[in-house]
Amino acid sequence: FPLLALYAAAGLLFPLPAALLVNLAGLLVGVTVPYGVGRFAGGDLVDSLQKKYKKIARINEMKRDNELFFAFFLRIIAVLPGDVVSMVLGASGMTYWKFAAGSLLGLLPVMAAATVAGSSLSDPTSPVFLVTAALVVLLSVGSFVLWRVIGRKKQAAGPDAE
């Protein structure tokens, strides 16, 4: 089910602070379960996922220095399915608290904006709804553009660039 719809539904059904907490708890569960699957499955899972998603190999190469920032970065750019990211990071042995903190921080901007938009859904012409809906779109487009720019810079730098 589309996460944006769930975020907005929580914003519509609960007072805003409670909706944000409900969505945050849901995100934590939503990233933890596939992380655990990956942690349990180990390297064989990463190998099979690398065959399906070619970008996974690059993920393992990039994860070296700062796990928390790396988890944040993968979530904020959102170019791979979230469950795949969680499974790969779990299978790679990433520390859980760094994974969880980075994932939640990376998912938070879109979740918060969509939750606020949902809280004002009863009046879709209100400035709150229009601004937060635009923010969700800008965050999504911005993450895609960021991913493309980084990909082009790495490609221009050559295969030995890190």
- pLDDT bucket at 138, cuts 50 / 70 / 90: confident
110 closest CA partner among 35, 6, 1: 6
- pLDDT bucket at 8, cuts 50 / 70 / 90: very high
Arithmetic mean of pLDDT over the chain: 84
- pLDDT bucket at 50, cuts 50 / 70 / 90: confident
Look at the alpha carbons of 90, 111, 145, 69 in this order and tell me if their dihedral is positive or negative.
Answer: negative
| 58 vs 86, residue with greater confidence | 86
Q: What is the mean pLDDT of residues 28-43?
A: 92
> Do residues 73 and 80 lie in contact, with contact meaning Cβ atoms separated by under 8 Å?
no
